[in-house]
Amino acid sequence: MSSVSELEDSISSSSSKAGACTTRSQCDAFASRTFGGPVKPIPVQGAFSYTVAAANDTVIVQDSPLDMQILGTVQAIHPGFVADRSYHGTIGSSLTLLIYSMNMLPGDTYFNISLSLLDGDFDHQLTTVRSLARFFAQSWQGRSHSDPDAITADLENCHSSFSYLSSNLPSRFQKTIARIKENLSALFSGEYPLVLTHGDLSERNILANPETGEVTGIIDWAEAGILPFGFTLYALDHMLGYLTLDGWVFHDTAEYLRDEFWRVFCELAGGVSQGDMELIQLATLAGLFLRYGIPYKPGRKGVVGVGGSLRLSFSTEPKPAPDATEEEWG
């Protein structure tokens, strides 16, 4: 991520590499002219885009196209969580920087909100996990129908990723990695939901009401892909604790909040069997390893790896969903 103070260098550099003669001031002028009024860069910028707030819209300039069909599908699955998007052409001397707009969603990033949260903010946290459960229930119900060849390719990619993890992560993770790898085919069998999966469901891409904790939006769907449900459930753990120099620490109320998440999820999703819950547990672990054990690779869809094993402490003592037995977790 880039700070506002780095924007000029960042956009000039990316524009130059793309062959476009475009500056930050040109982008600002286009946004102001097209959408009216003054424009203001958002506080935290993406690594490959430049975003400003203009009137009631957010304007994004980036060097790679968005899949508008996928974004339309995401909006249909997650009404109330995803912004409308429109394409407005290109800017610069070359057709490389593309311009999109979206309606401005309310709230602040959960990352910013969490910095001021205390263990005592129970009602706030309860509202957050309940609304996050609603988002995941929508995902469960909005299963996608991929062609068999695509499913086979995705399964092979997952096997390849876990082979990499087997060779590169410490020995304390190997038993869990082996168990996930042995059971991956069950997640791609067609009976378990394959869903449009956010590529980077971090605290920076989840918006919430600072006063109530209600999740108000999910942003940055550029790396969305179709994967088994649950690969991004690491987002729940993000809301149940925080990272310290000594490792991950869960809030005192984490177990109650986790149980409440699953209660709301099962109530809204409907028809979730014990067998489904066991596969959700497997998918959650798989997503954690793909997220925190695989290095970042541009263009990767579904779960963007961020490398390193700082947060893989989640996986050493996984937190099961209700009704899971210790034997199931190994």
Domains of the chain: 2-102 (3.30.200), 108-329 (3.90.1200)
Section 264-287 average pLDDT: 96
- CA nearest to 192, candidates 234, 235, 154: 154
Q: What is the pLDDT of residues 87-117, one digit of tens each?
A: 998 887 655 788 999 988 999 999 999 888 7
Residue 211 main-chain phi, psi, to 5 deg: -85, -40
Across the chain, mean pLDDT equals: 85
User: 29 CB contacts (<8 Å, ≥6 apart)?
Assistant: none
Strand partners, 45: 2
pLDDT digits (tens, 9 = 90+) for 40-69: 988 777 767 888 998 778 888 887 888 898
- pLDDT of 186 reads 97
End-to-end CA distance of the chain: 37
Distance CA 54, CA 262 (A): 38
What is the value of pTM for the model shown?
A: 0.86
- Residue 176 is predicted with a pLDDT of 95
Q: For residue 263, count other CB atoms closer than 10 A to its CB.
A: 13
- pLDDT for the residue 115: 83
Q: Which residue has the higher pLDDT, 130 or 58?
A: 130
Inter-residue contact 197 to 226 (CB < 8 Å): yes
Q: Are 318 and 325 in contact (CB under 8 A)?
A: no
Q: What integer is the mean pLDDT of 27-31? A: 88
